[in-house]
A and B are shown apart, each in its own frame.
Chain A
Amino acid sequence: MIATFGVIAIVEPIAYYPILGRSAMYQAFMIGNIANKLLPAALIAQTDLDERPGTRRAELIAGAAIIGAVYIHLVTLVVLVGLLGTWLVGSLPPDLIGLARLYILPAVFGAVTVQAVVTMRNVRITVIAAVVAAVITFLVVPLVPALTNFATAMAVIISIVVAWVARSRTDAPPAAPPSAGH
């Protein structure tokens, strides 16, 4: 368990700091869904009021827009998920719920992996990470089952090291990539 929390504790902030940047970190940790919901709301409100990002006025408009977005989000969650969703799940047959439970992980990870690959737009690192993960999952873990719980931690660390050693030295520094999650 300590190993798990260690992995999360290390990977999550380090993975997201460079993506989110400073001010978004402060906001993201409480509200969540920054990239897909709060940023578009802020930009639309700034356009609506004819203000370009970067000014003090634009900052205040963004803050107000995020508040509007948060209220809509809270209402949606309470009504659709809290009331409607709970009722729906409660009224579905138990074997259907069991099936959803059993296969929800591959259903989430398949999509999220594709999203991460597309968001990162880096063929070299994608190939490295895929090969490292495949070697660990299909070779290392079956040979040394004791390492099962450390598979993800190992894949993350080895991917970082290999990607670093094999990085393209001619690439111009790309713009900050958009957030893939929070």
Chain B
Amino acid sequence: MLPTGIDPNSTEILPVAFHPVLWVAAAGVFAVIILQSVIYLRAIRRAGAAADLTDQQVSRAVRAGAVAAIGPSLAVALVAISLLPLFATPAVLTRIGLVGSAAFDVAAAGLAAGTQDAQLGGPTYTQKIFAIGFAAMTLGGIVWMLSALILTPILSKGDQTLRKVNPAVMTVVPAAALLGAFFTLALAETTKSPVHLVTLLVSAATMGLCLLGAKYLKKSWLHEWGLGFAIVVALAVAYFMTTG
């Protein structure tokens, strides 16, 4: 029978979101990535000999990569922490932190919740909706992996053909798809409540300022931190609007 605390209609999502099975799965994802990196590193050392690359130089490249990744990793961590209340640790670690990305996974979960006439977060956010949202993220990830493995060789041939036929296809179609999707998701939020509208605008404005700052003040770290800052500032404004 079902373990205690599992009730599809309960809005207390933590018993499901912190379910031991999810922790095991999250640990599995980490283990696979660590293993993959170990195997890659050994292969690189072996191949390096033939390509005039010493072991010391490989180690130096690993160190340089590690140092370069500190800032961006902290920026990703900030975004991930802000999503913890919504999806809890195992889902956030695997989907937002590693395999997926904040933008697409939140969009996928939100769309899936919408098909059940529910919203992420609100009073309709039950264990069932969490499960459906998480399944949508994961299925999106599976499709992503399958297309990476199966479609990439096909697309890369098609890519050359498409580019020959009409280079505009490759720029117009993805841009229109991405912008159409995010504008619709953003505008749908504005119809929920005035606080949602202001939160959206503050988030957009903060991001805009960060990107302008990155460009004109030549502070490229603002680029990486934009999403994290925008989420924190927008949530803070939402807090003051609802409590003040």
Question: A-side interface residues toward B, CB under 8 Å?
Answer: 1, 3-5, 7-9, 11-19, 22, 25-26, 28-33, 36-38, 40-42, 44-45, 48-49, 56-57, 60-61, 63-74, 76-78, 80-82, 84-86, 88-89, 96-118, 120, 122, 125-126, 128-130, 132-134, 136-138, 148-149, 151-152, 155-160, 162-164, 167, 169, 171, 173-174, 177, 180-182
Contacts and interface: CB of A to CB of B under 8 A. Distances in A.
Interface residues of B, number: 135
Q: Does more than half of chain B's interface fall in helix, strand or loop, or is it mixed?
A: helix
Given A67-B41, A88-B81, 5 more contacts: A4-B108, A7-B111, A77-B93, A104-B85, A180-B103
A169 B168 CA distance: 8
A8 B136 contact: yes
B64 A44 contact: yes
A89 B226 CA distance: 22
Contacts of B156: 22
A33 B189 contact: no
B191 interface: yes
Nearest to B198: A106
Contacts of B106: 104-105, 108-109
Interface in B48-74: 48, 51-53, 57-70, 72-74
Given A7-B111, A17-B151, A73-B73, A111 B61 contact: no
List of 5 A-B pairs having minimum Cβ-Cβ separation, nearest first? A65-B65, A110-B203, A159-B180, A68-B65, A133-B183
A181 B101 contact: yes
Nearest to A13: B147
B115 A104 contact: no
Contacts of A97: 85
B14 to A, nearest CB: 9
A60 B44 contact: yes
Interface in B176-220: 176-192, 195-197, 199-208, 211
Given A81-B80, A106-B200, A107-B235, A156 B226 contact: no
B20 interface: no
Contact of A41 (B36, B65, B89, B188): B65
A38 B99 CA distance: 13
A72 B201 contact: no
Given A76-B74, A99-B235, A81 B84 contact: yes
Contacts of B238: 99, 102-103, 106-107
B76 A76 contact: yes
A103 B183 contact: no
B148 A107 contact: no
Contacts of A162: 176
Contacts of B92: 81, 85
In this complex, which of A5, A109, A132, A162 has the most chain B Cβ atoms within 10 angstroms of its Cβ? A109
B93 A137 contact: no
Given A1-B115, A15-B177, A114-B208, A107 B144 contact: no
A25 B115 contact: no
B203 to A, nearest CB: 3
Contacts of B112: 1, 4-5
Contact of B57 (A49, A67, A116): A49
A15 B172 CA distance: 10
Interface centre among B85, B106, B119, B211 (most CB of A within 10 A): B85
A63 B45 CA distance: 10
Contact of B64 (A48, A103, A104, A130): A48
29 contacts: A8-B136, A12-B140, A13-B148, A16-B174, A22-B156, A31-B98, A36-B224, A40-B68, A44-B68, A68-B63, A68-B67, A72-B73, A98-B121, A99-B235, A103-B234, A109-B107, A110-B201, A111-B203, A111-B207, A111-B226, A112-B102, A112-B182, A113-B185, A151-B188, A152-B184, A155-B181, A160-B173, A160-B180, A182-B104
